[in-house]
C-alpha cells in the first residue's frame, strides 16, 4: 500500500494507492520532479472550496514513490497576475535550484478569467519558493487562453518552453519559446505548424514534450474534439493523448510521425505530466477527475469528505513500435493473481492480475462493471449525476490484465500496456 502522512492524525488514510487532497479540489499534477533526493508531486489545488474558483499549488513529497507526505501549499495567489489562480506548470532543476514555471490567472470582479501571465518561482530546498514574477509578454494573435508552461534543455544547450494556446482563430495550438540564458525568452511560433490538423480542438491544454526510449513524444489535452463513438474515441468531455515524432531544435518544430492516440480509454483521465528520474525512467501521473460540471458538483466525496478528485497511480512509460506502453511502477505493486475470475462477483481494494482467455465480468460497487468479451473490454457505469448508463470500450488483447482497485477508483492496464482504463466509482 501507498502511505500518506495526514496532517490531521485523527483521520484514517482513505485511498490506498492514490494521492488525494486533505480538503478542497485537486486537479492537474504539476511540477513533477526529483530534486535533492526527494520526489515532488505538486498539484492544482483549491484548498477553500470543492470547485475551480481558486488555485494554489499543493505539494506531496516522497523518498521512494511509495510513502508520501502532504506539505503546505508551495505556491499561493499573491501577485496581481496570479490573484485569480496559480495555474498549471512544470519544474526545472538548474544550478542546484528548483524552478517552477506556472501560469498566473487574473479574474475580473465577477470571477471571470481575463488574462494569463507566464511566471517563475525558485527554491533552494524544494519547499519554500520565492516568486520571480512574469517572464515574458503575452504573444500577439492569441486569446487570453495561453497556459501550462513546460520547460526542457535541448542538446544544443538552449532552453525551450512550450504552452497550450488558443489563437484568435480558435484552432488549438502549442507555442514555443527559446532561451540561451534562462532569462530572455524568444517567441518561436507554433510548435505544431501544419501538423495534427484534426485533433487540435479549439484549445490545447497541458502540452508535454518528452523523450521516451529515445523517441520524442508529445502529450497534450485538446478541448473540443467531437466524440467518435463508432471507434470508441474522444467520448469524455475533454480528452488526452499523444503522438510520436521528431522535435527539431533548429526550427523549433515538432513533426508528428504517428496518429494521435488517447492515453486512457476510461471515464476520467486528463492533463498528465511526467517526472524524469535520474536513470531516464519517465513516470506519468494524470488527473483522475475530468468530468462534466454537473457530475463534478455531485461527486460523493464532496459531501462525505469535503474533497474532490485524485491523481492516478504513477505509470512508467515505454515505447514499443511507436506505441506508448504504460505500466504501474514496480515500487507500488503488490499483486494478487486471480486464476478463476469467472466466479468473481466483486473486487475490493487491492491489485489483481487476471490471466485468462475466458470471458468474465466483474462488479465495482453497485453501479460499475467491467466485462471481457473476447477482443472487447467493456467498462459500464451508471452515472451518479443522471443515472444514465454509459460505456467505454477498449478493443485489443485482454488475456493479461493488471487491475488496481481503490476505494472509489479503478485503473485497468490491458493490451500489453497499450491501453488503460481509469474510472471512479461509488
- Note the residues at the interface with ligand FRU (CB under 6 A): 27-28, 44, 55, 87-88, 103, 147-148, 205-206, 270-271
Smallest distance from ligand FRU to CB 243, Å? 19
Contacts of 371 (CB under 8 A, 6+ apart): 359, 360, 361, 362, 377, 378, 380
**CB-side neighbour CA atoms (13 Å) of 337:** 4
Q: Active-site residues: which are they?
A: 28
Q: What is the DSSP string of 10-55?
A: TSPP--SSS---SSEEEEEEEEEEEETTEEEEEEEEESS-SSSS--
Quote the cell numbers at residue 199: 485533433
Q: Which residue's C-alpha cell is 474515441?
A: 233
| β-pairing verdict for 24-35 and 307-308 | parallel
Smallest distance from ligand FRU to CB 21, Å? 13
Q: Which of 81, 73, 70, 19 is nearest to 45 (CA)?
A: 73
In terms of CB distance, is 192 or 405 closer to ligand FRU? 192
Measured at the CA of 407, the angle between CA 404 and CA 413, to 5 degrees, comes to 15
Smallest distance from ligand FRU to CB 117, Å? 12
Smallest distance from ligand FRU to CB 424, Å? 16
Smallest distance from ligand FRU to CB 55, Å? 5
Measured at the CA of 77, the angle between CA 75 and CA 82, to 5 degrees, comes to 110
Give the integer Cα–Cα distance in Å for 363 and 345.
6
Q: Which of 363, 26, 325, 102 is nearest to 4 (CA)?
A: 26
Helix (H) or strand (E) holding 301: helix 300-305
CB-neighbour burial class of residue 39 (10 A; exposed 0-12, middle 13-18, buried 19+): buried
Smallest distance from ligand FRU to CB 269, Å? 11
Specify whether the CB–CB gap between 121 and 130 falls below 8 A: yes
Smallest distance from ligand FRU to CB 45, Å? 9
In terms of CB distance, is 28 or 408 closer to ligand FRU? 28
Strand ordering across the sheet containing 389-395:
360-364, 368-373, 376-382, 389-395
Amino acid at each position: 500500500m501507498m502511505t500518506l502522512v495526514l496532517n490531521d492524525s485523527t483521520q484514517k488514510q482513505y485511498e490506498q494507492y492514490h494521492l488525494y487532497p486533505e480538503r478542497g479540489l485537486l486537479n492537474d499534477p504539476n511540477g513533477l520532479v526529483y530534486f535533492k533526493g526527494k520526489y515532488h508531486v505538486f498539484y492544482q489545488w483549491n484548498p477553500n472550496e470543492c470547485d475551480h474558483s481558486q488555485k494554489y499549488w499543493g505539494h506531496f513529497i516522497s523518498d521512494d514513490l511509495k510513502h508520501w507526505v502532504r506539505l503546505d501549499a508551495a505556491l499561493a495567489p499573491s501577485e496581481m497576475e496570479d490573484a485569480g489562480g496559480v495555474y498549471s506548470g512544470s519544474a526545472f532543476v538548474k544550478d542546484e535550484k528548483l524552478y517552477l514555471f506556472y501560469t498566473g490567472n487574473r479574474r475580473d470582479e465577477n470571477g471571470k478569467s481575463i488574462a494569463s501571465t507566464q511566471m517563475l518561482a525558485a527554491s533552494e530546498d524544494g519547499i519554500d519558493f520565492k516568486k520571480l514574477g512574469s517572464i515574458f509578454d503575452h504573444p500577439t494573435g492569441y486569446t487570453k487562453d495561453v497556459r501550462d508552461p513546460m520547460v526542457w534543455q535541448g542538446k544544443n544547450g538552449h532552453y525551450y518552453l512550450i504552452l497550450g494556446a488558443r489563437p484568435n482563430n480558435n484552432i488549438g495550438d502549442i507555442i514555443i519559446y527559446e532561451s540561451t540564458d534562462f532569462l530572455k525568452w524568444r517567441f518561436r511560433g507554433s510548435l505544431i505548424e501544419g501538423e495534427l490538423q484534426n485533433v487540435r480542438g479549439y484549445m490545447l491544454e497541458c502540452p508535454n514534450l518528452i523523450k521516451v526510449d529515445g523517441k520524442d513524444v508529445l502529450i497534450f489535452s485538446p478541448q473540443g474534439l467531437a466524440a467518435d463513438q463508432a471507434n470508441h474515441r474522444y467520448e469524455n468531455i475533454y480528452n488526452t493523448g499523444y503522438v510520436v515524432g521528431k522535435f527539431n531544435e533548429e526550427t523549433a518544430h515538432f513533426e508528428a510521425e504517428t496518429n494521435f492516440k488517447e492515453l486512457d480509454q476510461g471515464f476520467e483521465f486528463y492533463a498528465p505530466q511526467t517526472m524524469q528520474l535520474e536513470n531516464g525512467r519517465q513516470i506519468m501521473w494524470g488527473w483522475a477527475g475530468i468530468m462534466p460540471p454537473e457530475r463534478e458538483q455531485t461527486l460523493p466525496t464532496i459531501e462525505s469528505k469535503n474533497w474532490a478528485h485524485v491523481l492516478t497511480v504513477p505509470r512508467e512509460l515505454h515505447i514499443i513500435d511507436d506505441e506508448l506502453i504504460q505500466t504501474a511502477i514496480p515500487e507500488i505493486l503488490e499483486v494478487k493473481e486471480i486464476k478463476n475470475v469467472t466466479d468473481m462477483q466483486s473486487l475490493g481494494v487491492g491489485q489483481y492480475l487476471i490471466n485468462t482467455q475466458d470471458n468474465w465480468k466483474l462488479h465495482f460497487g453497485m453501479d460499475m462493471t467491467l466485462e471481457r468479451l473476447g477482443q472487447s473490454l467493456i467498462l459500464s457505469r451508471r452515472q451518479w449525476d443522471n443515472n444514465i448508463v454509459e460505456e467505454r470500450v477498449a478493443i485489443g488483447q485482454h488475456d493479461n490484465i493488471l487491475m488496481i482497485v481503490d476505494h472509489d477508483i479503478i485503473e485497468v492496464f490491458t493490451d500489453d500496456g497499450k491501453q488503460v482504463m481509469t474510472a471512479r466509482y461509488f
